[in-house]
Each structure stands twice: as C-alpha cells, then as structure tokens.
Chain A
Amino acid sequence: MALPEKKKKNIKLKEEKKQKPSKEIKKDKNLKKNIKKIKPSVEETKVKQVSEFEKKELFDLNNIAALIDKSKEDFGETNKKLNKISQSQDSSMDSSKLTLSEEDALKAQIFGCWSIPLGLPYNEDLLVRIKLKLRPDGTLIKTEILDHARMNMPGQGFFRVLAESALRAIQLCQPLKVPTSGYERWKDLQLNFDAREMLGG
C-alpha cells in the first residue's frame, strides 16, 4: 500500500517544560545508568558472606552430651511404658509411622505456622522435603533441605522461596508437637511441604 508523507503535528503539553515527561524520561535514563548493584562495603560483604554462605551449624556440640543423657532417660521411660503395653496393642503399632493422632497434631501445628508464598505459580514443581533432627522436647537440633542443590540453581527461584518459607514455618512452630514417648522413633523426621494443593494445582 502506498504511503504518504508523515503527518505530524506538535501538541502542546499542559505541563511546563520542566515537568514534561520527556525530561522525566531523561532522568530515568540517568537513573538507569546510575542505579546499579553496588557491592556492599567490606564490612557489609562480610555480613553478607557470613549470613548467606556460611552454613549454620545447628548441631550444638555442647548439648550433645546432655541430649544423649536425656534421650537415654526418655528412651528408658519409653521402654518402661512400652513394656506395659499389652501384646495385642504392641503388634498393631508400626514403628515406622506416627499414629494418626500424633501425625494430625503435628500437621495441624505446622499448617498454622506455614505462610505459603502466594506468588508461587501453581504449575511448578512445588514440593520441598526437609529432614529434621529433633530433641525430645520437640525443639530443633538440625534441619536439612533434601534437594539443597536446587536452592542455588538458576531457574529454581520458586523452589528456594518455598524452601525458605518451609524453614520459617518449622522455626516458628518449634517446639514441635511431637509424641511424648518413643523419641527414638521420631528423633529424625522428614516433612514434605507440598504447596500444589493450596495453590490450585
């Protein structure tokens, strides 16, 4: 299709020149040039490195002895209690699971503590598995994200966000509502945080 010359007309802007968006945009360019990721000062870098890259050691060596002692006591108590359980009850008990009521209590507690990041897309692989090492009173000794390598992988931003939210939930909830007995059974626990159902997937 043949085209005519450009038909142009200037429009007067209502604003004064200094308020013209053009100037504003120029400023934007200026800002674009000036705003940059500036490395924090040496002191800041230190803080950053300590906080971001140093793996926090949650296993307190000073507490291990006390922990072992306490666990022995608890285990002893548990053994005593278990000895009292009748034969029929004993056979129905699966040592690899929590009872339904125990599991429900723990789930209900964590449901309340877990703020699911609402921005997550529901079609992503939104499952984070976290292994916990617990004290008999339900406080944390150690947490470990089982797919930790994904945390720093490019394109895995959503996994990282979900994992961090799960860790916050565990921290917020502790001491966890664990059974009063059978410490050996649940001292290591794995929580599988799955946001797909909540986010509509």
Chain B
Amino acid sequence: MVPVYVIIGIVVVLAIVLWILYNGLVRLRNQVKNAWAQIDVQLKRRHDLIPNLVETVKGYMKFERETLEAVTKARNIAQQASSAGAGERAKAEGDLSSALSRLLAVVERYPDLKANQNFLALQEELTSTENKISFSRQFYNDSVLKYNNQTQMVPSNIAARMFGFKAGEFFEVTLAAEREAPKVSFTQ
C-alpha cells in the first residue's frame, strides 16, 4: 500500500515543479515578445518623424542636398526592410542611424535653424527616439539572454525541451554600424 502513496506523491511534486518551470518560461518568452514589439514601435516612430524633419530643414540647408537625400533614401530602405528578417532590418536601421547623425551634426553650421522652435522640438523627439531605440534594443537583448539561459540551464531546460521553447535571437548588428558613425569636425 505504502509504495502507491509514495509514487503518487512523487508524481504530484514533479507535476508542480514542471508547472512552475513552464510558467516561468512562458513569462520570459512573453517578455521577449513585448520587448520586440517595443523596438518595432520606436523604429516606426523614427520613420514617421523623418519626413517632417526633412521638410523643416530643407529651407535652411542650401548646401546639404546630398545629406538630406541620403537620409530620405535610408529611411525608405529601412521602411521596406521592416517586413524582412532581423539581420537585414538591423542593417537598414543602422544605415539610417548613421545618415541621421550625419545630418544632425551638420546642423551646427546653421544658427538660424538652431533658433527655429519647430526644429528644436523635432530634434528633441529624434534624439529621444534614438535613445528609446537603443534602450528597447538593450532591454530586448537582456530579455533574450535571460530567456535563453532558462531554456538551456538545468532544470528548466527539461521543461523547455518538453514544451518546445526555442532560443530567441539577439538584435545587435546595428551596434557595429553605429560605432562607425562619422565624427564631423567643426573646424572650418
């Protein structure tokens, strides 16, 4: 009689442990999904801001047609890439980032533009959106790291394999592109 109770007890304990591990994995996977959605929101916001910026800046910047065109072009490519895979997308957004920072660096040469209220508000929005993109990417990568650790470490890897939790993909290619952002010298 006794062994039956023991076996039932062990099964119940195992089921509870599995239940807790499963819930933990689901929570982390949802966090990864949310973090990804947040990156998406911020990238879209940047795409929406750029036409406005180009419109405002156009009238002031007589000699920067190329810089402006490069931004518009990079923005269109990035927008098209938003349905592509993570790797291609990260590259397109990285190109957009460097084109933008080139434009914002050039602004220093136009004091009139820097006095324009409309432009200042746009610049604040853009700066902030850039920060939000990098912070959301940072949080996404942290979440992926935590989630991947859970899917690989004992004992939660057992539950992960049983219920088919796959490792997440990092979003980090843009970092390299951003590091290459050109340093513009103002000594003229």
Q: Do A and B bind each other?
A: no
User: Interface residues, chain B, CB within 8 Å of chain A?
Assistant: none
